[in-house]
Amino acid sequence: MWKRVLLFLVLGDFVFLTIRATLEFGYMGVIDWFMANAATQLLFADLTISLVLISIWMFKDARVKGRNVWPYFGVTLLFGVAGPLMYLLLGQFDEATQQAPARAAS
């Protein structure tokens, strides 16, 4: 339960920050800031490598669990870490429903 709450809070804060930055700079403006200097280019490269590694994990995990990973890849391409956060958050709901004991029909 606490994992779900934590994931929801992190996702909510990230979405709020994404909306705020996009409204202030525009989608392409945010990307332009990544190319401003060597430090931001390093952050962009680090983020890109991390998201590729996380996407590989999501693909393998989704295949094992029989989940559709493609919507989360799309969100990851457009909004970064929001895709993996959503995958984890919604996966918590999937696991909860799968682990719930079946009720006997009365």
pLDDT at 94: 59
pLDDT at 98: 55
CA-nearest of 64, 101, 67, 66 to 86 is 67
pLDDT at 30: 84
**How far is 89 from 65, CA to CA, in rounded Å?**
15
In the predicted model, is pLDDT for residue 10 greater than 70?
yes
Q: pLDDT band at 56, cuts 50/70/90?
A: very high
pTM: 0.78
In the predicted model, is pLDDT for residue 104 greater than 90?
no
In the predicted model, is pLDDT for residue 38 greater than 70?
yes
**How far is 93 from 67, CA to CA, in rounded Å?**
12
